[in-house]
Structure 1
Amino acid sequence: MNSTLSFIWKRLQSIWTIPDLRKKLLFTLGMLLVFRVLAHITVPLTHQEQVNLANLFASGKSKNLGQLLGLLDVFSGGSLQTFSFVALGVAPYITATIVMQLLRPILPALQNLSTQGEAGQQRFNQITRIITVPLAFLQALGQAAIFVRAGVLDANTFNLFGPNWLETLSILLSLTAGTMILIWLGELITDHGIGNGISLIIFAGIVSRLPQLIQQGLLASSSTGGNGGGVVSTLVFLSIGLLTILSIVFIYQGQRRVPVQYPTKRMVGRGVKFGPAQTTYIPMQVNSSGMIPLIFAQSLLIFPALLSQYLIGNNVKWLANIALWTGTYLANTTLWYYWFTYFVLVVVFTYFYAYIIWQQQNISENLQKQGAFIPGYRPGEPTHKYLNLILNRITL
């Protein structure tokens, strides 16, 4: 743990001493600041609808709408409280990414993109962004339906096929456009900043809620007559959070080093003489998937629950019942089978994403081309199977 703290401290010190790193950090912070500014720009609402929205969260009635609204509000960074046009966050893009990753092993056209290098990856990302647009529109429809049920939006006027269809369409298109803008900001951070832009936007949204949550905890303690209990609880919570972050960093840096030997060659007269093999290693991370499986699993649970909100009032009874069950139970964090489903999805996506990342690197094929080998294993398929075995073990 001491080595982890030392590593973090050295990295923090190097931020301002390396010009390129400082520039990237400032750019990243600037883009995240733009994101937080956008989170306070609301979609087109009438004055009465804005009053209804303010009353909904000020009175605490939002808690009666169930766990789904709470999950959406956390992952949108509190954007739901203002019904910001970035209230959807990047959830539609994550859903589109899941769809594309699942289709890649099935569709030959997507498999061919993997063999085309950087150009193929750019085309793959472009298709993902295109799929994001209809998914964002559908999620916007479900999110707006939640506010219709809450009384923020008028059920008589919010209708794509009614006389006020233009007002309805403007809200849905604003939410869709907000998602695409966040994707653009995320890609800018990835290209010119530090880290994965999409993950940082999600992180910034969640962290932005912490001051409000801490304040609510302190107010709740004072209202119940606690003598400093809220402060102690908050400090304990922050300490546990800090220790958790340090533990995650410590584990994330863990790696399995697989030894690799490269033959050395030198010219002797007109011939080539092979010398002693040069030994190095392949660093295989303990958690090569990172936070992606958690984000994927959460998005996969939220998407059908969100979409079901628009179908709850459907005239077809069986469809309305399915939508009601989905919206009530699929995103209810108080039920054990929600966490069981979430756990299973995280495990599945962890293996799935780790396998995809490893396959894209073509380690065994590259070793064979370079004449390198892992001691005890022949180049080619035996090496490939051995590396997959190690990947499965360290992922577990």
Structure 2
Amino acid sequence: MATLAGIANFHKVPELRRRVIFTLVMLAVYRVGIFVTVPGVDRREMSKYMAQQSGSLLGFFNMFSGGAFEQLSLFALGIMPYISASIIIQLMGMVYKPIDEMRKEGEQGRRKLDQYTRYGTVALSFFQSFGIARWLESISSSEQGAGIVTHPGIGFQLMTMITLTTGTAFLMWIGEQITERGIGNGISLIIFAGIVTGIPGWTAGYLAQNAGNLQPLTIAAVIAFLVAAIAVIAFFENGRRQIPIVYSRRQVGRRVYGAQNAHLPLKVNTAGTIPPIFASSLLMFPATLANMNVPGADRLQGIINRGGWVFNTGYAVLIIFFCYFYTSVTFQPVDVAENLKKQQANIPGIRPGKQTADYIQGVMNRITFGGAMYVATVCVLPAIIGDFLRVNITFGGTSLMIVVGVALDTVNQIEAQLITRSYEGLTGTGGGGRIRARRLPEG
């Protein structure tokens, strides 16, 4: 009730109200575009084919696109090419010095990198849309997917490439607009909206498939597992490792500030939802290569599509790898140590400079191990539980992580805007329930 009472404060902040309305309008435009089908495709036949692929990687990809892939709409590729391009640009910063220098140039460098990311998104979209066009033509000639493509050929391939690439570019623009003019996290909110809108369809499909044979204990077990998973995700996503730091006495103008104690917070899951998303994209990549008749891709795709322990083990290993890899790309202990030295701050018992960087790196390695194991467990466990209960849980751990993580970030951003304007946050009203800025403990 306290949270619902806090939501009533939205209308008291005109700017926040405009941002929320703008975000909802942009998400509504995204949902409308889901039902605009690519020319030359029979949407009903595609829906029938996808109904047979609910437990495969295609069903997983369809869930991330918010059902757009099943409709073969303008947004069938979703926002995945943008995410892949962003990660590629960040990885290039480790091996290509000019990009690393741009990253350190501040706002101007960030704009250049954003521009390169857009170019990369368009290039990846063209490549993936060509693979999808070839794949559609191949299954259209089979018995299962007969009639999906009405007029196959080079004309259909070009039209599909142009249409899907344009749809992804438009989604990218929507995400940037939500970030700048909405409540923030535009790209994440698009994925969030796509996943959440698929929950009613999954529930209705399960009830229709098991009409007259519903198992109350099975349903209760699935609900209990989802609730427990949400609680675990919320706990770990808010987890921090506080490293104590001490600021030396310093003079600013005519004022002299004494020694101060503070903490350097390090997130347990620094990589966020990027590792499972990128691991999923990598597992879907062999299907694109197989559609382009790349030697050996068919065999690799067959191994991945089998599911079971082969898929789950590979998925977990990729997630752990990308947790470490992405954390090493986005978090630079050397830069943190240098900034602490410039601010005349140090970690008690640790000498400034290289020793501080090594200490922070050691702490990050330990907490990243725990974070990686948590992410891998949450993403793989739903499939294992579903096999045990004989329930196809399409709303799996990756989806839960994204939904819970984006929801927490969005609520925190709204709270921050309310606090800035001296209004009550979302978690309480009145003097005792007002959210106050958290002070770092001393000592």
Query: TM-score if structure 2 supplies the norm length?
Result: 0.74
Alpha-carbon separation, structure 2, partners of 1:121 and 1:272: 36
1:54 to 40, 44, 56: 44
Larger Rg: 1
**Alignment-derived partner of residue 185 in structure 1:** 174
1:315 aligned partner: none
Aligned to 1:159: 153
SS where residue 104 of structure 1 aligns?
helix
Per-residue CA distance 1:98-157 (angstroms, 9 max, x = gap): 3222222111121221221121122112112111212111111222233221234559x5
**Cα gap change, 1:384/1:54 in structure 2, threshold over 3 Å: closer, same or farther?**
same
Distance 1:132 1:369, change over 3 A: same
2:258 & 2:55 partners in 1: Cα distance? 67
Query: What secondary structure does 2:346 align onto?
Result: coil
Measured after TM superposition, the shift of residue 371 of structure 1 is 1.2
1:169-195 C-alpha deviation (Å, 9 max, x unpaired): 122100011111111111222223334
2:153 match: secondary structure: coil
1:326 aligns with 2:292: no
* Pairwise CA distance, 1:18: 4.8
- 1:34-73 equivalences under 5 Å are 34-45=29-40, 49-50=41-42, 53-58=43-48, 62-63=51-52, 67-73=56-62
Partner SS, residue 25 of structure 1: helix
- Select 2:352's aligned residue among 363, 379, 387: 379
Tell me, in whole angstroms, the C-alpha distance in 2 between the residues paired with 1:219 and 1:146. Answer: 30
**Alpha-carbon distance in structure 2 between the residues aligned to 1:237 and 1:11:** 31
Comparing both chains, which one has the higher relative contact order based on Cα–Cα distances under 8 Å and sequence gaps of 6 or more? Answer: 2
Q: Tell me how far apart the structure 2 counterparts of residues 65 and 233 of structure 1 sit (CA, whole Å).
A: 20
Are 1:258 and 2:243 matched, yes or no? yes
Structure 1 residues 330-369: aligned runs within 5 Å: 330=304, 332=305, 334-359=307-332, 362-369=335-342
3-state SS in 2 of match to 1:375: coil
Q: Any residues of structure 2 matched to 1:109-120 within 5 Å, and which? A: 109-120=98-109
Residue identity opposite 1:329 in structure 2: I
* Unmatched tracts of structure 2, length 5 or more: 140-144, 370-443
Residue 379 to residue 61, structure 1, CA distance change in 2 (3 Å): closer
1:25-61 deviation line (CA, Å, top 9, x unaligned): 333222221111111111112xxx42xx313434x57
- For the residues of structure 1 that align with 2:7 and 2:282, how far apart are their CA atoms? 35
Q: Does 1:249 align with 2:249?
A: no
List aligned pairs for 1:297-316, cutoff 5 A: 297-311=279-293
In the alignment, the residues of structure 2 paired with residue 234 and residue 179 of structure 1 have an alpha-carbon distance, to the nearest angstrom, of: 37
Q: 1:126 aligns with which of 106, 115, 120?
A: 115
Letter in 2 for 1:31: M
Amino acid at match of 1:245: I
Q: Partner amino acid for 2:228?
A: L
Change (3 A) 1:192 1:353: farther
Classify 1:152/1:202 alpha carbon distance in 2 versus 1 (closer, same or farther; 3 Å): farther
Q: Check the 8 A contact 1:333/1:339 in 2, yes or no.
A: no
Q: Deviations over 1:6-39 (max 9, x none)?
A: 8x77875665555544443333222221111111
Deviations 1:193-252 (A, max 9, x none): 334222221222122211111111111111xx32x53x6645653443233223212221
State the distance in 2 between where 1:207 and 1:350 align.
Answer: 25
Residue of structure 2 in register with 1:108 after alignment: 97
CA distance 1:64–1:248, change in 2 (3 Å): closer
CA deviation after TM superposition for structure 1 residue 62, in Å: 4.8
Q: How big is each residue's C-alpha offset from its partner over 1:300-329, in whole Å with a ceiling of 9 and x where there is no partner?
A: 221232232232xxxxxxx45x13123333
Partner SS state of residue 305, structure 1: helix
Corresponding residue for residue 25 of structure 1: 20
Tell me, what secondary structure is at the counterpart of 1:151?
coil
Residue identity matched to 1:42: T
Task: Rate the CA distance shift 1:66–1:243 in 2: closer, same or farther, 3 A.
Answer: closer
| Unpaired segments ≥5 residues, structure 1 | 312-318
Matches of 2:257 and 2:279 in 1, distance apart?
51
Aligned position for 2:389: none
Q: Select which of 63, 70, 91 maps to 1:74.
A: 63
8 Å CA contact 1:68–1:305 kept in 2: the answer is: no
* Deviation for aligned residue 1:266: 5.6
| Structure-2 separation of matches of 1:303 and 1:337 | 17
Contact 1:114 1:360 in 2 (8 A): no
Distance 1:287 1:133, change over 3 A: same
Q: Distance in 2 between matches of 1:272 and 1:65?
A: 68
Matching residue within 80, 83, 87 for 2:72: 83
CA RMSD of aligned residues (A): 2.9
Counterparts of 1:15 and 1:65 in 2: how far apart (Å)? 39
Change (3 A) 1:78 1:239: same
Are the counterparts in 2 of residues 293 and 350 from structure 1 also a CA contact under 8 Å? yes
What does residue 316 of structure 1 align with? none
Relative to 1, partners in 2 of residues 1:154 and 1:22: Cα closer, same or farther, differing over 3 Å? closer
| Counterpart contact for 2:334–2:354, Cα < 8 Å | no
Count of matched residue pairs:
363
Whether the 8 Å CA contact 1:217–1:234 is kept in 2: the answer is no
> Residue 142 of structure 1 contacts residue 306 of structure 1 at CA under 8 Å; is this kept in 2?
yes
Counterpart Cα distance in 1 of 2:210 and 2:354: 62
Distance 1:384 1:361, change over 3 A: closer
- What is the match of residue 272 of structure 2? 290
Instruction: Compare 256-265 and 20-29 and name the one that shifted more.
Output: 20-29
Structure 2 Cα separation of the partners of residues 37 and 147 of structure 1: 23
Give the Cα separation in 2 of the matches to 1:11 and 1:256: 30
